[in-house]
Amino acid sequence: MTCPKCGKHRAHRVLRRGWLDNSANWLLMKPYVCDSCSHRFRALQQGGGHPGLAEQIELRFAEARRGKAGRWVRKSGILYYLAAAAVMAGLLRVIFTPR
């Protein structure tokens, strides 16, 4: 894959992160990172949609590097949603409680 910033053919697929990558995935836009300039970008998926062997190995290595940190991010995301729900419930109680 060619990097749009530096023009070198050193970009590789990376794991999706965030809502923007997940929503771009619906349009077959996959996230890439350039090895030369570390520019992160999205581009149309190349090939027939089935990752080749090299790409599968890259994705496995990326998941292994992420390790426990990825699980912590998912758990902390749930905690943020629970905290936001508690704050929202408190605000609704204050608003709708008769005086």
- Between 33 and 51, the more confident residue is 33
pLDDT, tens digit (0-9, with 9 covering 90-100), for 52-90: 666 777 777 777 766 655 555 556 677 788 899 999 999
Question: Where along the chain do its domains lie?
Answer: 1-50
CA 49 to CA 91: how far, in whole Å?
46
Measured from the Cβ of residue 32, the count of other Cβ atoms closer than 10 Å reads: 19
Fold of 1-50: N-terminal domain of TfIIb (2.20.25)
Q: Determine if the pTM surpasses 0.85.
A: no
| Residue tagged 């990825």 (tokens) | 70
Distance of alpha carbon 69 from the chain centroid: 14
